Amino acid sequence: MDVKIEESWKEVLKQEFNKSYFASITTFLKAEKMSNKTIYPPGGLIFNAFNTTPFDKVKIVILGQDPYHGPGQAHGLSFSVQKGVPPPPSLINIFKELQNDIGMPIPSHGNLTHWAEQGVLMLNASLTVRANEPMSHSKIGWAEFTDAVIAKVSALKEHTVFLLWGKFAQEKQSLVDETKHLVLKAAHPSPFSADKGFFGCKHFSKANTWLMKQGIDPVDWSLQ
């Protein structure tokens, strides 16, 4: 199957694109479209995380669960929203922790493309969702695909940081070879759990400190 995705990822994931589960995802999404269902993010942004962060540049993985399901929010990067869209509560809490951790001013927008361009893979476990129906595409095969992405990064790269926030993300820890990668775990930044271990986790400074020890450039977490 010829998937429109950045070339280094196309090479790494070519076996996945030829598996039956991926064909099932494609068939399902086409059926949704034929039924006039609204799907987020728009088709051209489904693989935005991969297109913005080539495989060769990945240094940190931030794992989300499901794309935002409201109009204009999701654009293919976990936790991120496009400029002009108010940052959702979890993203606001991420910004609060960044301020607490490294003194970063709270940004005026929630677009995290600047992180992605520096090598932060903003990966959701599901890459699509039906409008106003959270988790509606969580059982269509995306989990198998994104598990394969995590496993490929673990197997083929050295010295990557995995930020696993919340129980769902932490269930992916077994896919990561911790003899060569760093796994940092905390509560999810959701308002329901941020005060149970996300606030104060200092993952952003810890990730950069570890990367620099490996001779890798740190991430500039600021957002202009």
Give strand ranges (E) for the chain. 39-40, 60-64, 120-124, 129-130, 161-165, 182-186
For the chain, how far is it from start to end, CA to CA, in angstroms? 38
Asked about 66 being catalytic, the answer comes back as yes
Helix 203-213 to helix 89-102 angle, to the nearest 10 degrees? 60
Q: What letter represents residue 35's amino acid?
A: S
Q: Which of 2, 56, 66, 217 is catalytic?
A: 66
β-strand 129-130 against 39-40: which pairing, if any?
Answer: antiparallel
Catalytic residues: 66
